[in-house]
A and B are shown apart, each in its own frame.
Chain A
Amino acid sequence: MSADILNASLTDTAEAIRTKKLSSVEVVRAAIARAEALQPVLNCFIQLLGDEALAEAERAEAELARGQLRGPLHGVPLAHKDMYYRAGKRTTCGSKIRKDYVADHDSTALKRLLDAGSIYLGGLNMAEFATGPTGHNEHWGDNHNAWNPAHIAGGSSSGTGSAVAARIVYGGLGSDTGGSIRIPSSINGLVGLKTTNGLVSRRGLMPLSFTMDTVGALTRNVRDNARITAVMAGQDARDPTTSHRAVVDYEALLEAPVKGLRLGVPTNYYYDVTVPEVEKLQRDSLAAFADLGVEIVELEVPDMHVPTHMSNIVFVAEAVALHETWLRERPGDYQAQVRSRYEPGIHMPAEKYLRALGLRAKLLRDFTEAVFSKVDVLHTPGLSMPVPSLADTDMAAGQGMPEMVAGLSWTTRSNNYLGIPALAVPCGFTANGLPAGFQLMGRPFSEAKLFQLGHAYQGVSDWHTRVPEISK
């Protein structure tokens, strides 16, 4: 029974709770039971808050009995990367340095999800300080993949990837500064959205690179992601970088026809390092889009090494600005890989950092003109390679680490510098039995179109309905 409950989608579960066909308490109990059963295998939770969640579920049920519905997530358990602050509660950021950190304010994104009725099941494992694409964590233990625990869960939102894939929760927040939502989404067979910079408030999110950090969700299907995104999106007076644009009802637009939309396929950069079996899955997904009446257009994109390099300049400078004191006083409390990723920032000249930021708008214009004047959306691999094993990617700061990080984020990193949205969608499995995905990118604030295309694809494919053995 609990397997059936937890394998349903977020939106179906919310509807079943709203119409009292299902009790929130029953759902939360099932989620806790599965979380406890799988924790020794996956290690996806840093803080599992079962008692707190159960009390909230009882409150949600009592509210419904009184005819009170908080919002579109009423009674649904979610769990989030352990870097979203809750006033007075512990948030570890996956680190030793902040293992007992208690914030004095709430994350706006998380608060909006709670205000919409969702239940907080706990804080999920993650790469230390959201830095790392694999899910290795020396402080809290490595995170394992739900499809095969010998493989990585991806990062940095590793715990959200494996907890959602393992059907412990229906969705959860990650954060994306260079691919940290999309990489674990592709690796775990999930839908993950890197939002347009400014769409969702970053207030109360542990910062890593404040001009490139974005908030978004990992879910099992596009509709669920559209719902969570709509709840979180919108201006926040406490985050001056949020956009004033009206929030779009993404779910209402999901069924809009996709016939005639132009989907771009890059002839350069994105497939340079993509292995053949991953490329085949990309081509298969493009064929499915063509069958839906979407026009497939091959095109040359600008040299993506440039925004990728620029993102690395901005990232290291901002990370060191944030971590300066700890890097001086507590260097041994960082994992070697994380410390080595920040280290170049100590030596990055200020004028280069500011020039890289000044160049950002120009490169965004150039990219938009080169790509989105010809197509509506760009389709690329989500990950260029089959999901690697934990052992193969366990290299601390040693030889090969920079190449490994660059390889895993080959298709994702430039988006954060350009500020544009990107949606990861599962599109099959490679020979090692692990998931693969594609990525859809669009103009700024074009999330509705990305959801629309991703939803249409999920209407003619069933990858998102597959369940890992561990959760059957």
Chain B
Amino acid sequence: MAQISRELILAQAREFGGDVPTAERAEELAAHLNVLIGALDQASADLAFEAEPANMARTLDELAGD
């Protein structure tokens, strides 16, 4: 996936409304998000196509240690 850029952050922030970050803060946000998204892309590279959030409750139940 394309990296999130400072320009994208600033454009989205103007669209969103509220406080618009400074260019420096937008740079920080972009760097932070790219770290998180990079980790996700790597960790989920072999994730099953069918994986969905609802599996979590069933998995907690299956792995229970009570």
Interface string of A191-231 (1 = CB under 8 A from B): 00000111000000000000100000000000000000000
Q: How far is the CA of A10 from the CA of B21 in the complex (A)?
A: 49
A347 interface hit (Cβ, 8 Å): yes
Known A344-B29, A356-B40: A245·B61 in contact at CB below 8 Å: yes
Please state if A245 and B66 are interface contacts (CB–CB under 8 Å): yes
Q: Which of A305, A344, A358 contacts B44 (CB 8 A)?
A: A358
Chain B residues with Cβ below 8 Å from A445 are 60, 64-66
Chain B residues with Cβ below 8 Å from A277 are none
Please state if A358 and B60 are interface contacts (CB–CB under 8 Å): no
Please state if B57 and A402 are interface contacts (CB–CB under 8 Å): no
Classify the interface of chain B: helix, strand, loop or mixed.
helix
Classify the interface of chain A: helix, strand, loop or mixed.
helix
CB distance from A339 to the nearest CB of B (A): 7
Chain A contact residue count (CB 8 A cutoff): 52
Q: How large is the interface on B (under 10, 10 to 19, 20 to 34, 35 or more residues)?
A: 35 or more
Please state if B32 and A402 are interface contacts (CB–CB under 8 Å): yes
Please state if B63 and A368 are interface contacts (CB–CB under 8 Å): yes
Please state if B60 and A243 are interface contacts (CB–CB under 8 Å): yes
CB distance from B23 to the nearest CB of A (A): 14
Which chain B residues (5-52) contact chain A, with CB distance < 8 Å? 8-9, 12-13, 16-19, 21, 29-30, 32-33, 35-37, 39-40, 43-44, 47-48, 51-52
Please state if A361 and B56 are interface contacts (CB–CB under 8 Å): yes
Please state if B32 and A344 are interface contacts (CB–CB under 8 Å): yes
Q: How far is the CA of A409 from the CA of B18 in the complex (A)?
A: 29
A189 interface hit (Cβ, 8 Å): no
Q: How far is the CA of A357 from the CA of B53 in the complex (A)?
A: 5
**Listed residue (B30, B35, B56) with the most chain A CB atoms within 10 angstroms of its CB:** B56
A443 interface hit (Cβ, 8 Å): yes
Please state if B19 and A339 are interface contacts (CB–CB under 8 Å): yes
Please state if A358 and B37 are interface contacts (CB–CB under 8 Å): no
Known A328-B18, A359-B43: A448·B66 in contact at CB below 8 Å: yes
Chain B residues with Cβ below 8 Å from A444 are 60-61, 63-65
Known A344-B29, A347-B33, A363-B43: A328·B53 in contact at CB below 8 Å: no
Known A248-B66, A328-B18, A419-B56: A362·B47 in contact at CB below 8 Å: yes
Please state if B12 and A358 are interface contacts (CB–CB under 8 Å): no
CB distance from A229 to the nearest CB of B (A): 12
Interface string of A419-448 (1 = CB under 8 A from B): 100000000000000000000001111111
Q: How far is the CA of A376 from the CA of B65 in the complex (A)?
A: 9
Closest residue on chain B to residue A326 by CB atoms: B18
A352 interface hit (Cβ, 8 Å): yes
Please state if A305 and B39 are interface contacts (CB–CB under 8 Å): yes
Known: A197-B56, A245-B66. 7 other contacts (CB 8 A): A211-B53, A346-B12, A349-B37, A354-B53, A355-B40, A360-B55, A444-B65
Q: Which residues of B line the A interface, CB within 8 A?
A: 4, 8-9, 12-13, 16-19, 21, 29-30, 32-33, 35-37, 39-40, 43-44, 47-48, 51-53, 55-61, 63-66
Can you list the 8 inter-chain pairs with the closest CB atoms, starting with the nearest? Answer: A443-B65, A446-B65, A357-B53, A309-B39, A361-B59, A361-B55, A358-B51, A445-B66
